[in-house]
Structure 1
């Protein structure tokens, strides 16, 4: 490597470190300066919203409605990946599909302030879906079907593609290579994760679709809002090439008898697209990945002061015992839905 290469690499590392530090300690002046760099004039009212992976704030605007300012966590997504997310949202909105798309200023939706990418979007007021409301599940199925139908015309080229086994492997590697998990529990953790991985691999080999499709990737209840009688799908931060059932299974709350819920969701979905029922056999895989990844996610973000404050119980022996119990439940409940 040449001296110039070394200098360039050092400058890149310094910029990334600076952006990470600025992100972990965003202060009001920085937030307001970023918002006003778009040409809007703030009234200095800032209200933090419930988000940990990114930083999200409601910011008041002089003589206008408040906007939502979303600051992307540095080094998580590339500029191309974020722009692909924005393009998807703007296209969906233009087609009349109820999503919240970023605001554009002189044709731009993505901005950078102090090394941190950010965007602005309109504020949406409403309520999240009721967990067991069958009518609402039907509507959610319709909305997700609409979104999948439109997104299917333009596959992602920059976003990630879902890979459950790789996710399990990476999460387990991270947990086992650090000291958060007590040494005496590591053999039990390793055995339980290995069992779930083996079960997941068998399902994937049998039921994985031939081709992945663009999906939202994280369509849980908090990312849906009922506004003026219509559900809107929010926060496409995790959009990816994936499997249709990824956007459906998170709405199943009746663990003993989820089939009625599934029936409503799929019936609504199929007003727009046919649903491959064989994908239901992958729900156990995605459920296991979500449980395994959650612990790894908390561990990977522990250097962020916001996580230490929000999750003070993480890393305790009680936490890990509960986590191991969740993993065992994943195994015990395996097949309940597809059976």
Structure 2
């Protein structure tokens, strides 16, 4: 991999950020704030009229231009139907994605909000209604240029990369490989029990940090991980607590969700499998980005033996959970 791909933001200075925004047609006043993002680089930029935009500099090599534009069109499609999402701004040249030197950049309106209270039933019902509306639109056509959430890319490719990366301590390599192979087989069993489910366009990373709440209700941000997959992927990350608590929360979500889109209850078999895939993929994501100086600073514990002991323990717990029956819900 080239040095540019390993450290793509080494030349992204504050002046370069402002110059890129100005070349896209917006006049800056010099205010600039780096926002929390590791995969890409995202900045809040002040404009001369006193307003703000959010500038997103996409990581080199992750998505093709066609895949990024497909994400943009998806959010524009949702916004046109009055769903509360944040589509990109259109530049003076009529573009949502533009190139500035080696960088690909998109601008977004600033939309604030607070983290929703996911333990409150009415909050979950409102989020469920929004997800149901979104999935009703998403199911109408597939992505053509974005990936699919599957076992191969999220689990097999990920654990094999980790074993070849040198991050897994040698004393744990055999145990990690054996456990990963077991988890893959269990996840495949969960997918088989879920049957031939419909794969739809997803937000893909619908945790509480990407659902912002205002007085008007929830809105979704950051569709960077949008991909094809089962609808349950956009639901399960709103769940927390013990099994009984998660069942109650899922009932609230689906109470709102099924107002607009029918849920395939066989997909409940996928929840722990998808959680397992996410955990393996997350570890591989950090390892793949380790040459980016932001990652050792943000995850200093990653290359230590304690992390891997805890990671393996958490995965063993997932192995037990995948053998359990799925959540029991009140099916209406």
Normalising to structure 1: TM-score of the pair? 0.92
- 1:66-85 alignment to 2 at 5 Å? 66-85=52-71
Match of 1:62 among 36, 48, 56: 48
Match of 2:222 among 230, 235, 240: 235
- 1:157-168 alignment to 2 at 5 Å? 157-168=144-155
- Determine whether 1:149 maps to 2:140: no
Secondary structure of 1:101's aligned partner: coil
* CA shift for structure 1 position 22: 4.8
Q: Which residue of 2 aligns with 1:304?
A: 292
For 2:196 and 2:204, how far apart are their aligned partners in 1?
16
Contact between 1:124 and 1:227, CA under 8 Å: does it hold in 2? Answer: no
Q: Which residue of 1 aligns with 2:327?
A: 338
Normalising to structure 2: TM-score of the pair? 0.94
String of CA shifts for 1:156-208, please: whole Å, max 9, x gaps.
Answer: 11111121244211011111112111111011111111111111111212314
- 1:238-277 alignment to 2 at 5 Å? 238-257=225-244, 258-277=246-265
Contact between 2:28 and 2:48, CA under 8 Å: does it hold in 1? Answer: yes
- 1:45-60 alignment to 2 at 5 Å? 45-60=31-46
Contact between 1:209 and 1:243, CA under 8 Å: does it hold in 2? Answer: no
Secondary structure of 1:69's aligned partner: strand
String of CA shifts for 1:96-125, please: whole Å, max 9, x gaps.
Answer: 000001000232110111211110101112
Contact between 1:24 and 1:306, CA under 8 Å: does it hold in 2? Answer: no
* CA shift for structure 1 position 42: 0.6
Q: CA RMSD in A?
A: 1.6
Q: Which residue of 1 aligns with 2:90?
A: 104
Secondary structure of 2:51's aligned partner: strand
Instruction: Select between 208-217 and 108-117 the one with higher mean Cα deviation.
Output: 208-217
Structure 1 runs of 4+ aligned residues shifted over 4 Å read 16-22
Contact between 1:137 and 1:264, CA under 8 Å: does it hold in 2? Answer: yes
Match of 2:156 among 159, 163, 169: 169
Match of 2:106 among 119, 131, 156: 119
Match of 1:278 among 266, 269, 273: 266
Residues 20 and 202 of structure 1: is their aligned pair in 2 closer, same or farther, counting only changes over 3 Å? closer
Contact between 1:140 and 1:231, CA under 8 Å: does it hold in 2? Answer: yes
* CA shift for structure 1 position 211: 3.4
Contact between 1:69 and 1:121, CA under 8 Å: does it hold in 2? Answer: yes
- 1:8-27 alignment to 2 at 5 Å? 17-18=3-4, 21-27=7-13
String of CA shifts for 1:41-69, please: whole Å, max 9, x gaps.
Answer: 11111111111011111011111311111
- Determine whether 1:328 maps to 2:316: yes
Q: Which residue of 1 aligns with 2:23?
A: 37
Residues 315 and 59 of structure 1: is their aligned pair in 2 closer, same or farther, counting only changes over 3 Å? same
Q: Which residue of 2 aligns with 1:213?
A: 200
* CA shift for structure 1 position 84: 0.4
- Determine whether 1:319 maps to 2:307: yes
- Unmatched 5+ residue regions in structure 1? 1-12
* CA shift for structure 1 position 136: 1.0
Residues 291 and 165 of structure 1: is their aligned pair in 2 closer, same or farther, counting only changes over 3 Å? same
For 1:164 and 1:212, how far apart are their aligned partners in 2?
14
Secondary structure of 2:149's aligned partner: coil
For 1:130 and 1:330, how far apart are their aligned partners in 2?
26
For 1:211 and 1:192, how far apart are their aligned partners in 2?
29
String of CA shifts for 1:224-265, please: whole Å, max 9, x gaps.
Answer: 101232210111111111100000000111223111001000
Instruction: Select between 198-207 and 117-126 the one with higher mean Cα deviation.
Output: 198-207
Contact between 2:239 and 2:249, CA under 8 Å: does it hold in 1? Answer: yes
